[in-house]
Amino acid sequence: MNDTPVRYRMKYSKTGNLRFIGHLDTQVMFERALRRANFPLRYTQGFNKRIRLNLASALPLGFISSAEMLDFWLNLELDVEDIRQKLQNALPAEIRILELRQADNSLPSLQASLVSSEYRITLPALESPKEFKAELDKLLTQTEIPVTRRDKTINYRPLILEHELQSNPHDCFVVKLTLSSAPGANARPDDILELLGIDPADCVIERVRLNFSED
Amino acid sequence: MTGSRRDLIEKILYHVEKPGRYVGGEHNQIVKDWGSVDTKWCLIFPDIYDIGQTNLGLAMLYQILNAEKNILAERSFAPWVDMEEELRKHRIPLFSLESKKPLSGFDILGFTLPYESIYTNVLNILDLAEIPMFTSERTAEDPLVIAGGQACFNPEPVSDFFDAFVIGEGEEVILDISRVYGSWRQAKLPRLDLHLALAKLEGVYVPSFYSVSYHPEGLISEIKTNQPGVPQKITKRIVPVLPPHPTKFLVPNVEIVHDRMSVEIMRGCTRGCRFCHAGMVNRPVRQRDASVIIPTIQEAVNATGYEEVGLLSLSSSDHTEILDLTRQVYDCFHEQKLAFSLPSLRIESFSLDLMDELKELKPGGGFTLAPEAATERMRAVINKPLDDHDFYQTVTKIFEKGWRSLKLYYMIGLPTETMEDVDAILQAGIKVQQIGRKLIGKSVKIHLGIASLIPKPHTPSQWLPVHNPDSIQEKLDYLKAGTRKAGIKMSYNIPDSTLLESWLSRGDRRLNQVVFNAWQRGAKFDAWGERDNLHIWRNAFAEAEIDPDFYAYRERDLEETLPWDHINIGVSKNFLKRDYQWSQQGRTRADCRESCFMCGILDAFGEDRPADGFGYWGCP
C-alpha cells in the first residue's frame, strides 16, 4: 500500500449565518463534513488523532468571504469532481466550494505562504460621505497608526497595503482594503473602521482574495 | 418591517459572545415554508443552546414533528444574559433559530422541563417573547404553551404558566396534540374548548381543570376536577415499544456541552434505588436490540460526521445484550475512529469481559462508579446493595486494565445516616487509593463526588425531610479534611445550591407565586449555581408569605395528600409506601426482573405490553 497522503486544496465561500461561526468551530465543521462524505481520511499522528486539514487563515467572526482556502489530505487519490460533489453535499448550504484541485505535497502550508488579504467593505449610508473620505485620507497620511489588540500595540500603517474608495449605485460607499496577513503582521479591517468612527457591525465585510507568496 | 428586524438581529449578533448560538443553520436543520403547513411548533429548551441542543428528547420530537407534511417544528433556547440585554435594548422579541420568527407567531410552544431549576428561565423566555406569562391571561391569539419532560411529573409549582403538560413520553402524544390543535383552530372555538380537547388525551394534564384546597395548617385537603369529563387522575403516557431512533441529528456549528450524538439503548430501570426519580417514573424497562442499535449508529454517523457516540440508559450494564453490543460497536466503527461512552455502569453486574471491550473502545481517560453509600446498612436503606468484596475486586480490575483515574459517587444526607456512614465513604476512598497506588503507582487519581439527597416526588423517598444545611456542612467538612489529607480530590454541592431543588421538586401550586416573584426579582439560570440566586428566592418566598422550610425539612405523613397525587406514573402510592417502610426496616428489594413486586406498572400498562419478540420489557 502506498502510504503517501494525497493533498487537496480547496477555495470556498462562507456566507449568511455561518459568518457567526468562528475559526476553530469552522475547522470542526470541516472535519465533520469530511467524515459525513465518507472519504478515506488521513489522520494526524499521536495520541489524539485528528483529521489532517489546514485552514489558510482565521476569518474574523462576522465577516463573509468568497476567498477562503483549505488543504486536506486523503489516503487515496480520488476523482476531484467526485470529491467536490460529495463534500458539497455534506457541507452546510452557506459554505460553497468554489475550486478544488489536487495539490503537491511539497508546497508550503497555506498559513506560511499567506501574504495579504483583500477586503471589500460596504459601509452604511453615511450622513456625510465627504467627511468620511477626508477622515480616511487623513488616517492614511499618518506614519504611525497604533492599534491595540489583546494588550499588544502594533503600527497598522505599514500593514495597509492598498486602499480604494468606490461608491455603488445605492450611494453606499465601498472601501477596498488590502491588508497584510503575514504571520505576526496581520491587520484587521474592523480595527481600521473603528479608527474612522464606524461600527463594523453596520458594515458588510467580505474577504474577496487571499494572496500567497507562490502566486 | 421583517427586513429591518432581521437586519437588527444581525447587527446585535456582532455584540454578543458566541453568536453562533442564535443563528441555526446547522447541518440537518429542517426549514419549512410557513405557507405550506397547518401547525407551527416551536420547541424550546429553556437554557442556553450550549446546554440544550444535544438534548435527545428535543431531537426526537423535532424529527417526529417535521416528518409530518403539515407540521413544522423550529427551535429556540434561552438567550445568555448579554443577548438578553441586546434583545431588550432593541425591543426585539425572542425568535426561533430556523426562521428567526418571533415566538408569538407560532401555534404551539413546547417547553422541555428536565429539572426544576429551569423554571425562571421559562418565565423570562415568555417575557422576552412578549407572550402573557399566566395561562389565564392568554387569548385565542396567543400560542398554546405546553411543557413536557422529567420535571413535569410534579408540574404543580408552575401550573399557572402552562396551558397543559405532557405527563410521560412524548413521541406519540405530540402528534395527538397537533391533531387536536388543528381541529380546534379550524372550528374557530374559544380557547377553553382547546383545553377540554387536550384534557381528554391520554397523558395530557390541563392544570386549570383541577382545584386544590388546603387545610388551615397548610396541608392539602383535596385535589379535584372542576370540569365534567376530565379524568380524576392523569395517567402518564408511554410508548409500549421504543420507536425508531432519530439519526439525522443537527450538528452544532459552535462548540457545546456534550458535543456528541446520543443513542438511547434502554429506557427505565428495574433496580429500584429508593432515591432515584428516573428509576421510578420511567418504568417499564424497554430496550432496543443490538440489531437495531448498530444500524442506527451507522446511519447517524453517516448523517452527522460525529466522532463520538454516547449509548444512553439509566443502567447500561443491564441491557440484555450489552456485551455483544459493545463488541459489535467496536467491530463496526473502530476504523472510523468513533469514540464511544457507556455511562451508568453498575458495579456488580459489571463483567470482566465488558471491561475488556471498553478498554479497547476508549483507551485512557477515567472510570466512574457510583456506589452511592459506603456501609452495607446504608446501602440497604437506599436499596442499592453492593458487596464490599465485589466492589474492591471491580476496583482492582479497573486499575489492572490500565485506567489511571477513578471517580466514585456517593450521597450524604440519607435517612438514619450517622458519622460512621460518612466516615466509611472516606475510608472507601482511601482504600481504593491504596489499591490504585499498588497497581499503578503514585500517579493514580481518585476523585470523590459527593451529592446530598434531595427527596423526589413519586419515589419511596418522597416523604423524607431534607437534612438541615448545618448537618450537611459538618459532614462535608469532615470529608473535605479527610480527602485533603489523603490527597484525594473531592467535589460536592454546597448545601445552599441544592435548597432550591428541594423546595421546588416537592412543591405545590402555591409556589407559582414564588416562582413568579423570584423571576420578577431577577432570578434566572438558577441551574448554573454561579449566580447567587438563593437570596432572591428567599425574598420571593417571604413576599408570598410562604415558609420554604415547609417544603424541605418536613417529614410528610404517609396519609397526607401529596401535591402530585393526581398524577399517576403507573407505580402505585401503596407500593411506594411499602418500599419506604422497607427502607426504614433496612430491607432490600431485589432487581424486579427477578420477581415482580407489583409496583403497579403492569396494572397500568400491561395491556399494551407487546408480544414476545416484538419489544423487550424488563418486567417478569
Alpha carbon of A190: minimum distance to chain B alpha carbons (Å)? 12
Q: How confident is the model at residue B1 (pLDDT cuts 50, 70, 90)?
A: very low
Identify the residue among A36, A51, A52, A87 best suited for mutation to test binding to B, counting B beta carbons within 10 A and taking the highest. A36
Share of chain B above pLDDT 90, in %: 83
At CA A157, angle to CA A151 and CA A163, rounded to 5? 125
Cβ–Cβ gap B304/A201 under 8 Å:
no
Q: What pLDDT is stored for residue B527 in this prediction?
A: 85
Q: Choose the closest CB to B24 out of A17, A32, A33.
A: A17
For residue B587, give every residue at least 6 positions away whose Cβ sits within 8 Å of its Cβ, in sequence order, or none: B380
Q: Choose the closest CB to A16 out of B25, B304, B306.
A: B25
Mean pLDDT of B190-200: 97
Category of B203 on φ-ψ map: left (φ > 0), alpha (ψ -120 to 50) or beta: left
Distance, CA of B115 to CA of B120 (rounded, Å) = 11
Alpha carbon of A185: minimum distance to chain B alpha carbons (Å)? 24
**How many residue contacts between A and B have a Cβ separation below 8 Å?**
69
Domain match, B460 and B608 both: no
Q: What pLDDT is stored for residue B348 in this prediction?
A: 66
For residue B111, give every residue at least 6 positions away whose Cβ sits within 8 Å of its Cβ, in sequence order, or none: B44, B45, B46, B122, B125, B145, B146, B147, B148, B149, B162
Which chain A residue lies closest to B255 (C-alpha atoms)?
A25
Bigger pLDDT: A7 or B529? A7
Identify the residue among B6, B14, B53, B309 best suited for mutation to test binding to A, counting A beta carbons within 10 A and taking the highest. B14
Which CATH number belongs to the domain containing residue B301 in this structure? 3.30.750.210
Q: What pLDDT is stored for residue B363 in this prediction?
A: 44
Instruction: Answer for the pair A203, A122: CB distance below 8 angstroms, yes or no.
Output: yes
Q: For CA atoms A195, A198, A199, A201, give the dihedral sign.
A: negative
Give kind and range of the element (H or E) at residue A97. strand A95-103
To the nearest 10°, report the CA torsion of B25, B30, B34, B38. -150
Domain match, B265 and B195 both: no
Is residue B245, in this structure, part of any structural domain at all?
A: no
Which SS3 state, helix, strand or coil, does residue B378 take? helix
Is residue B250, in this structure, part of any structural domain at all?
A: no
Domain match, B212 and B267 both: no
Q: Choose the closest CB to B306 out of A32, A92, A202.
A: A32
> Is it the case that residue B267 has pLDDT exceeding 80?
yes
Q: Nearest-CA neighbor of B303 among B249, B348, B383, B345?
A: B249
Q: Choose the closest CB to A17 out of B23, B255, B306.
A: B23
Identify the residue whose cell numbers are 489546514: A54
Distances (CA, A) of B210 to B123, B136, B184, B203, B264: 22, 14, 22, 15, 35
Other CB atoms within a 10 A radius of the CB of residue B166 amount to: 26
Identify the residue among B9, B16, B27 best suited for mutation to test binding to A, counting A beta carbons within 10 A and taking the highest. B27
Alpha carbon of A213: minimum distance to chain B alpha carbons (Å)? 32
Which chain B residue lies closest to A200 (C-alpha atoms)?
B14
Which residue segment(s) compose the domain that B402 sits in?
366-510+546-589
Buried b / exposed e over B255-270, threshold 16 CB at 10 Å, is ebeebbbbbbbbbbbb
Q: What pLDDT is stored for residue A50 in this prediction?
A: 85
Other CB atoms within a 10 A radius of the CB of residue B344 amount to: 17
Which chain B residue lies closest to A63 (C-alpha atoms)?
B14
Q: Choose the closest CB to A200 out of B14, B255, B336.
A: B14
DSSP type of residue A143: S
Cβ–Cβ gap A18/B25 under 8 Å:
yes
User: Is residue B441 within 8 angstroms of chain A, CB to CB?
Assistant: no
Q: What pLDDT is stored for residue A128 in this prediction?
A: 72
Instruction: Answer for the pair B116, B504: CB distance below 8 angstroms, yes or no.
Output: yes
Cβ–Cβ gap B336/A35 under 8 Å:
yes
Mean pLDDT of B474-499: 92
User: Is residue B15 within 8 angstroms of chain A, CB to CB?
Assistant: yes
Share of chain B above pLDDT 70, in %: 97
Domain match, B338 and B408 both: no
Q: Choose the closest CB to B253 out of A18, A35, A90.
A: A18
Domain match, B301 and B388 both: no
Q: Nearest-CA neighbor of B74 among B50, B46, B109, B126?
A: B109
DSSP type of residue A125: P
Return the minimum-mean-pLDDT range out of B23-32, B331-340, B377-386: B331-340
Alpha carbon of B334: minimum distance to chain A alpha carbons (Å)? 13
Identify the residue whose cell numbers are 419515589: B459
User: Is residue B26 within 8 angstroms of chain A, CB to CB?
Assistant: yes
Q: Choose the closest CB to A38 out of B14, B23, B302.
A: B302
Length of chain B: 620
Distance, CA of A32 to CA of B337 (rounded, Å) = 12
Alpha carbon of A214: minimum distance to chain B alpha carbons (Å)? 32
Cβ–Cβ gap B254/A33 under 8 Å:
no
Distances (CA, A) of B14 to A60, A67, B17: 11, 22, 8
Alpha carbon of B447: minimum distance to chain A alpha carbons (Å)? 24
Q: Identify residue B606 by its one-letter amino acid code.
A: G
Which chain B residue lies closest to A203 (C-alpha atoms)?
B11
Is residue B106, in this structure, part of any structural domain at all?
A: yes
A73 bridge partner residues = A7
- Please state, rounded to an integer, the average pLDDT across all residues of chain B: 93
The low-confidence residues of chain A, meaning pLDDT below 50, are: 1
Which SS3 state, helix, strand or coil, does residue B617 take? strand
> Is it the case that residue B350 has pLDDT exceeding 90?
no
Domain match, B405 and B344 both: no
Which chain B residue lies closest to A29 (C-alpha atoms)?
B253
Domain match, B349 and B373 both: no
Mean pLDDT of B129-133: 98
The two most distant CA atoms of chain A are separated, in Å, by 67
Instruction: Answer for the pair B254, B20: CB distance below 8 angstroms, yes or no.
Output: yes
Distance, CA of B153 to CA of B165 (rounded, Å) = 9
For residue B1, give every residue at least 6 positions away whose Cβ sits within 8 Å of its Cβ, in sequence order, or none: none
> Is it the case that residue B360 has pLDDT exceeding 50?
yes
Domain match, B385 and B423 both: yes
Distances (CA, A) of B555 to B32, B111, B219, B415, B549: 52, 32, 12, 11, 11
Which chain B residue lies closest to A88 (C-alpha atoms)?
B27
User: Is residue B449 within 8 angstroms of chain A, CB to CB?
Assistant: no
Structural domains of chain A sorted by starting position, each given as residue range(s) with its CATH number in brackets: 6-107 (3.30.70.580), 114-212 (3.30.2350.10)
Which SS3 state, helix, strand or coil, does residue B597 take? coil
Q: How confident is the model at residue B513 (pLDDT cuts 50, 70, 90)?
A: very high
Distance, CA of A189 to CA of A59 (rounded, Å) = 11
Mean pLDDT of B241-269: 94
A-chain residues within 8 Å CB-CB of B31? none
Domain match, B131 and B59 both: yes
Cβ–Cβ gap B253/A49 under 8 Å:
no
Cβ–Cβ gap A25/B254 under 8 Å:
yes
Distance, CA of B120 to CA of B127 (rounded, Å) = 11
Angle between helices B419-439 and B469-486 (to 10 degrees): 20
Which chain A residue lies closest to B302 (C-alpha atoms)?
A36
Q: What pLDDT is stored for residue B341 in this prediction?
A: 82
Residues from A in contact with B at Cβ < 8 Å: 16-18, 20-22, 24-25, 28-29, 31-36, 38, 43, 47, 49, 61-62, 90-94, 200-202
Distance, CA of B288 to CA of B269 (rounded, Å) = 14
Distances (CA, A) of B419 to B136, B166, B416, B474, B480: 50, 42, 10, 10, 14
Q: Nearest-CA neighbor of A149 among A205, A181, A206, A190?
A: A190
Q: Nearest-CA neighbor of B59 among B78, B45, B38?
A: B45
Bigger pLDDT: B81 or B345? B81
> Is it the case that residue B577 has pLDDT exceeding 60?
yes
User: Is residue B451 within 8 angstroms of chain A, CB to CB?
Assistant: no
Question: What phi and psi, each to the nearest 5 degrees, are found at residue B95?
Answer: -130, 170
Q: How far apart are the first and last CA of chain A?
A: 34
Of B235, B270, B295, the last residue of a domain is B235
For residue A193, give every residue at least 6 positions away whose Cβ sits within 8 Å of its Cβ, in sequence order, or none: A121, A199, A200, A203
Is residue B428, in this structure, part of any structural domain at all?
A: yes
Q: What pLDDT is stored for residue B361 in this prediction?
A: 61
Q: Choose the closest CB to A201 out of B14, B302, B303.
A: B14
Give kind and range of the element (H or E) at residue B75. strand B71-77
Is residue B523, in this structure, part of any structural domain at all?
A: no
Domain match, B374 and B398 both: yes
- What's the pLDDT tens digit per position in A157-183? 999 999 998 876 666 789 999 999 998
Residues of B numbered 242-261 whose beta carbons fall under 8 angstroms of chain A's beta carbons: which are they? Answer: 251, 253-255
Q: How confident is the model at residue B365 (pLDDT cuts 50, 70, 90)?
A: low
Cβ–Cβ gap A32/B302 under 8 Å:
no
Is residue B65, in this structure, part of any structural domain at all?
A: yes
Whether omega before A108 lies within 30 degrees of 0, making that bond cis, reads: no
Q: What pLDDT is stored for residue B334 in this prediction?
A: 85
What's the domain count of chain B?
Answer: 3
Pairing of strands B210-214, B220-225: antiparallel
Other CB atoms within a 10 A radius of the CB of residue A9 amount to: 18
Is residue B594, in this structure, part of any structural domain at all?
A: no
Q: How is B228-273 classified by DSSP, letter by letter?
A: TTS-SSEEPB--SSPPPPP----B-SS--TT-SEEEE-EES-SS--
Alpha carbon of B303: minimum distance to chain A alpha carbons (Å)? 6
Distance, CA of B325 to CA of B521 (rounded, Å) = 51
For residue B499, give every residue at least 6 positions away whose Cβ sits within 8 Å of its Cβ, in sequence order, or none: B466, B469, B534, B537, B548, B552
Identify the residue whose cell numbers are 484525594: B488
Cβ–Cβ gap B20/A25 under 8 Å:
yes
Distance, CA of B403 to CA of B359 (rounded, Å) = 8
Domain match, B347 and B395 both: no
The set of cell numbers assigned to B257 is 456541552
Which chain A residue lies closest to B259 (C-alpha atoms)?
A28
Which SS3 state, helix, strand or coil, does residue A173 take? strand
Q: Choose the closest CB to B255 out of A25, A94, A201.
A: A25
Distance, CA of B194 to CA of B72 (rounded, Å) = 20
User: Is residue B24 within 8 angstroms of chain A, CB to CB?
Assistant: yes
3-state secondary structure B77-135: ECCCHHHHHHHHHCCCCCECCCCCCEHHHCCEEEEECCCHHHHHHHHHHHHHCCCCCCH
Q: Residue B441, Cα to own-chain centre: how many angstroms?
A: 39
Which CATH number belongs to the domain containing residue B412 in this structure? 3.30.750.200
B-chain residues within 8 Å CB-CB of A24? 255
Alpha carbon of B314: minimum distance to chain A alpha carbons (Å)? 29
Domain match, B55 and B18 both: yes
- What's the pLDDT tens digit per position in B403-461? 889 999 999 999 999 999 999 999 999 999 999 999 999 999 999 999 999 999 999 99
Please give the order of strands across the beta sheet that includes B405-412: B366-372, B405-412, B445-452, B489-492
